[in-house]
Amino acid sequence: MGLFLPKNASRLALKAARQAQDERRGIIKALSHGKVSRRDLIKMGLFTGAGMLAPIRGLHPLQSNLLAQTPGGPGIPTGLPPSPLWGATAFSQSLPRFDVLPRKTLDTLTPAPTKQANTTDRYNVDPILGGGTGPAEGRPGGDMWAHQMWDRFAPQVAVEVTQQGNKWANTTYNPQVSQSQCNLMGYSAASTMPLCFHAKMPVQYENSVWTFNGTVPPKLLIGRYGEPILFRHHNNLPCDWQQNGGFGRHTISTHEHNGHHGAENDGFTGAFFFPGQYYDYHYPILLAGFTSMNTGATDRFASSPTDAGGLMNVPGDWHETMSTHWFHDHMFSFTSQNVYKGNAGMFNIYSGLDRGAEDVNDGVNLRLPSGQASKTGKSWGNLDYDVNLMLSDKAFDAEGQLAMDILQFDGFIGDVMTVNLAYKPFMNVERRKYRFRILNASVSRFFKLALANASGTAQPIYQIANDGNLLPRAIKLTELDEQGIAERFDIVIDFSKYTLGTKLYFVNCCEHQDGKLPAKDLSVAQALSGASADPCVGRFMEFRVVANTAPGYPDKSFVPGFQETYPPTSVVPMSQWPTSPMLIPNPDLSQLPVVNERTFEFNRGANQTSLNKDTSFTGPWGISVNGMGTLAANYGRISAAPKPGTREIWHLNNGGGGWDHPIHIHFEEGQILDRDGLYSNVPLWERGRKDVYRLRPAGSLTITMQFRDFAGTYMEHCHNTVHEDNAMLVRWDINGELQPLPSPVPTPQGVRLIDADEIEPGA
């Protein structure tokens, strides 16, 4: 599933595609159930040694014999049967806003959270998982995986979630917007939301989707600086790994992307936990540099909103303030399946600068579109005009159930466009400014967004953030850049310029032919023409300008730091930056010596040097470090170990021109020093801080980062999660000790810690 046939595909091509799908289904099932391993498939001749599907007729939908049968080829490769839509039409359902997770007091958690993993409370392990007893918490035990700075940053807020199959209806949906916005969007308080992608599409079977709390819409976590959250994640997925609807793994590890916290809370790919267990993640929500800069918390710009409408100062560098995060599964070699299946949510972080109350005028608050404390009584975190949008392409089988082809090692592409897990929704808006936090939550698809009016003319967009970070300045655009998987673009749209009754559209201009890379970026006119064979190109969301602002509540928000002109082509020292107005200027690293440079090259055709079946996986994708061989992932291998408190320069190179890779480096925000050797190649919207770096085909970039405050075992990987799983991922440690950190090997009965089995030269 997942590729798409041209609209004029012949019946013969469709039949061949269905046949191929049937033949593949058996293999997919066997692989996803763990009955056969990738190594077995290689032995059986179904895979080549490089992990590619062997060219067996009918098995692979991209085989040339099928291509040849496709009328209109060779444009878009033939795929599998198109997803049925059951009569669902575009723009016929209202956008579901995210479901906000309740914030509770710590005493609601039983058992109480602990600094070291709770391995004293035991539970009875299901016989399917080997029986006996296991620790209640799946976090590795002992001091090394204890929460760092637990006593200093004791949790103040508890959030409890459960990963599970479809619970059939969400009876507790709470978008935390004003009643006026519920009315505008057509939500009724009494309504329950069944788990389907459109009312006309079938309700999903219990194990077709695995979402947070077993419901839709996707979940939104709300937090603020200086108020640590304890995020208790229960795993209530089926004990039997075969009960997965064809894809998805029942073990999970949750990554808060891109949290500045200890590695024990980072969702390390090998620190997964089993059905019946929970994992306590400690999100202290701290400004990077808090151990060395502004330690006395005297700078008002380094602050957090108080409930009373004031500011609470926090330690650290305010230039490191972050806003839009997301959280998702990071299970070793199963991330793509689990994220696609529903293990993805978003996390809005509030600060004095970005407090989510546009009418608080205190000289610190940037007053971005959000909502008004004077109307809602909420002095921070208003969501009325601050909208999370999670974009993802999906595919469905003949029964209308979510489907995925896990054998597409180049990447998996769906043919149905969804926003917040809803098929092509519309959104009613007021005539005022809105902020949209746009997340690309796809498996392998890049997007390129434009805003167009009904006649197809591109309309202005103001980009204010890239990844978790507000940019130094807002940028006026009519089209966003390609948005790689896991990148977040925050934008502002000013709907006050349009008359009541106006309709506007988000248009995707990025065409894919496979999961390796975008095939081409179309013009808005081309994307709207319907000529593309990619069903996810074109309009995917409709805005309806239906209301003026309410009497007494005019738009009080701003887009500070707006800049239309392109900046100089060399790095400008911060002292020469204009003083006002700005969003968030970059942290100044110029006074920090660079202690090390490393080169990571992202390649196809990887070797696996480890014999450890628990911690390693096979290619075809891999990473070459400092010119050494290209290796497939082994999370027991340490590929880099920066010294705590230092700054480094990392070179990220794409080893080929036939693919793109959005590279995610955990934990630290980086600044791009050059693209393909030149700072002038770095577009304005990439001149802030980043956590995902698109390499572009045959492209390279140089970034700089510092490593501070916390230690442990982190990762760097491609966020095309199919590439990541197969096996483009390296582990790197921040470790001041001489002894390498051990690797966890979880079992239902407890986590073993084993010695790291490889250390790359120069790590």
Q: What is the binding site for Cu ion (CB under 5 A)?
A: 661, 718, 720, 723
Complete DSSP assignment for 636-693 = TEEEE-PPTTEEEEEEEEES-SS---EEEE-SS-EEEEEETTBGGGS-GGGSSEESEE
**Residue the block writes with tokens 């593309």:** 532
> Which residue, 610 or 720, has its beta carbon nearer to Cu ion?
720
Cβ 728 to Cu ion, closest distance in Å?
6
Cβ 617 to Cu ion, closest distance in Å?
15
Q: What share of the chain is helix, strand, coil (3-state, %, to 5)?
A: 10, 30, 55
Q: How far is CA 743 from CA 141, 617, 702, 752, in A?
A: 12, 15, 29, 8
Please give the Cα distance from 306 to 379 (Å, whole number). Answer: 7
Give me the sign of the Cα torsion angle 601, 606, 609, 615: positive
> Which residue, 442 or 586, has its beta carbon nearer to Cu ion?
442
CA-closest candidate to residue 489, choices 433, 446, 438: 438
**Residue the block writes with tokens 């967009």:** 461
Cβ 334 to Cu ion, closest distance in Å?
16
> Which residue, 359 or 725, has its beta carbon nearer to Cu ion?
725
> Which residue, 38 or 261, has its beta carbon nearer to Cu ion?
38
CA-closest candidate to residue 13, choices 64, 73, 77, 78: 78
Please give the Cα distance from 555 to 370 (Å, whole number). Answer: 10
> Which residue, 644 or 697, has its beta carbon nearer to Cu ion?
697
> Which residue, 539 or 661, has its beta carbon nearer to Cu ion?
661
Cβ 442 to Cu ion, closest distance in Å?
12
> Which residue, 220 or 722, has its beta carbon nearer to Cu ion?
722
Phi and psi dihedrals of 597, rounded to 5?
-125, 140
> Which residue, 226 or 620, has its beta carbon nearer to Cu ion?
620
Cβ 622 to Cu ion, closest distance in Å?
11
Cβ 723 to Cu ion, closest distance in Å?
3
Q: Are 343 and 161 in contact (CB under 8 A)?
A: no
Please give the Cα distance from 141 to 146 (Å, whole number). Answer: 7
> Which residue, 431 or 723, has its beta carbon nearer to Cu ion?
723
Cβ 329 to Cu ion, closest distance in Å?
18
> Which residue, 488 or 723, has its beta carbon nearer to Cu ion?
723
Q: 338 by DSSP, 3-state: which? A: helix
Please give the Cα distance from 481 to 489 (Å, whole number). Answer: 9
Complete DSSP assignment for 463-503 = EEEETTEEEEEEEEESEEEEE-TT-EEEEEEEGGGS-TT-E
Cβ 698 to Cu ion, closest distance in Å?
13
Cβ 624 to Cu ion, closest distance in Å?
14
Tokens of 763: 């790590």
Cβ 718 to Cu ion, closest distance in Å?
3
